[in-house]
Structure 1
Amino acid sequence: MNVTDVTAIPVSVPIERAYETSLSSAPGGDSGTHDHVVVRVETDADVTGYGEIAPMAAWPHGLTQDACTRLINDSLAPTVEGRRVMRLPRIVDDLERQLSGEPFPVYGIDLALHDALGKHLGVPVYDLLGGPKTEDRTFDLHYSIGIKGSEEMAADAAAAAADGFRAFKVKVGGDDHGAERDGIAAIADTVPDARIRVDANQGWQPEEAIRKVRSLDAAANGLTLVEQPVEYDTLDGLRRVREAVDPPVLADEAAFSPRDVAAIARAGAADIINIKLAKTGGLHRGKDVATVAAANGLTCFTGSMVELGIGAAASAHLTVSTPTITYPTGVMNQYADDTLVANDDEWAVDGPTFQVPERPGLGIEPDREAIERLRTD
């Protein structure tokens, strides 16, 4: 089966609820939209694979929607077209060399190739990645809460707890640490058995991080982990925080590639690695990141760039097939009005445990009408 066409389609999707971090803010409701890119790979076997990119220019190695779209349509498509899908690892290698360190466009193509290959072989993508680590194909989810007031945090946590959630990821690193501490305390009071983790998205300097993590740890009655408290390019600072605080430290923006993970392990800078397919350049390299982490005694967590249905499905396949991913994950989108997936009922979140559908490829049926309606080119 050979690739005959690669196309990137920019779309802008309404966001139901606002979500703020120390790096970015997405307003919800009538004024809120989020840019994505749908990647379509067509083949001579009459099989079409779909991938997705959730661009974020504010990130290290981040790109805009327009840059991702143009790079794929103008530069990367010719590298992929005419190639055998079965040789996916070689294609990814070539794309990485061509872009020299920009993983976002590669990730969209990688997902579409995996989807096409799974459909062609009649197997789910998780089987292409080694098979599910549990026979029931399930994994645990956390509930994510953005930067907001303490009353809103507590209300969000209470609503999620009513649905069975006990693991909460809370964004911090904003301008008002006192309000963040109060919000964490409010969640702990509202849901006494809550397992709370915090994510600063590089929001602090090392000494500041040590002080604030200790404060939040006390407010939470013990945090389960702290994610990327300092800037991505200061492994020494990350190590200093890890050595000074009680909760385990998770590396996110600092951990894109297998080489990054090896460097983090050598520096003793983190306990856990956040694998995001946008960072790794897709599923193929995502498995490499997990392998290097495991070889160095690190556990993993699957993160999200607030992908829609296609990207969330890919992350679910990675999660369910990777033994070293042990922490509850937030890969299923909680904010978009439209997932761009026609069979989104099979991918709907109903509580803190998710079961990956047993369907070929990524297991999604693209909503072509929605893609056409929301495209921006």
Structure 2
Amino acid sequence: MLQKKALLALEDGRIFRGEAFGYHRTTTGEICFNTSMTGYQEILSDPSYCGQIVAMTYPEIGNCGTNALDLESDSPHVRGFVIEELSPIVSSWRSEASLQAYLTQHHIPGISGVDTRALTHHLRTYGTMRACLTSEICDGAEAVFRAKNCEERADLVQEVTTSQSYDWDVDGTLSRPWVQNYPTRRTETNSQQDTLFSLPEAQHHIVAYDFGMKRNILRSLRRVGFLVHVVPARTPAEEALALQPKGVFLSNGPGDPATLDYVRENIRKLTHHVPIFGICLGHQILGLTFGGSTLKLKFGHRGSNQPVKDLQTGRVFITSQNHGFAIAPDSLPDCVGVTHINLNDHTVAGLRHKEYPIFSVQYHPEASPGPHESHSLFQRFFNLVTEVQGN
């Protein structure tokens, strides 16, 4: 059977042709690339990709199918999916549906047969740009026109934040399957054996602002002993403090942090009261709250192989990242210190406040997908909350 044709048109006129898969329709959005070899399902369902067409640099995608347990949210948030080759078979005992079926179910168009190496080189050279992915338009010029006129929404957070507050996994049933047989550290007596981790009793109640939060962040917070109350992005600081949290967590999310004035105002009111930990968009919001500014990266950091250096210890971590903006280092006031840098381009990858118990990182310590080298940051937050409570 002949495969339906599709094309990917960039706003600068570059056109890539291939075969359609997933749902057959036309979509537009900012195109970016991800360098992860695995974890395509987690990437598709990561709310931080809201409004974007994602291209995978790894050549074959779809080998493992999809399953409900690995979803980072209820549904995919990408506008389109670009790959070089769609695996003709699904080989995983955990698979519940093929990638083709998953995208079709959620009305997400995809294109395969694209020279993703050439596409990535183009985006690295000319920067992230708007694009049109279609299986309905054959005329490249029309598709380029659609890309140029792609609507850019200012506040993507409102599309992905929770509509109402809720308590996450009070009884541990959602987190426990991810903890059983989960190796967390080496034993002191035998470095070749892993210590198995059991789910601890929740000790500290925290509020987590949902700007597009991944489920594995919630699981990671619960896994170190937090009882997490998730609130919408617009939740007033007074309402959050009325819950008497021992700490506040600021999640990842999509879009330009400079447009989120309403968030910064609320976070500013919280900084004097409780320990705060921010990840990705939450990190950028903290930087802006303390007087810094952000800059848009040429093609962003998206992948699970980003090297980050801890400036205090000199240790280098391989991290999972997904962002198109960064804190401008020269814009930060003296009360905020840079703790980590990205070794690829020396952008800011971590901050801490010198007076308040507040810190943040520009990467995903929960991984999903990616390495778990930085998972200890959740334990660091737990220890910080415990220390503040002790004082």
Greater fraction helix: 1
User: TM-score scaled to structure 1, two decimals?
Assistant: 0.33
Considering only CA atoms, is the larger Rg found in Structure 1 or Structure 2? 2
What TM-score, normalized to structure 2?
A: 0.32
Greater percentage in strand: 2
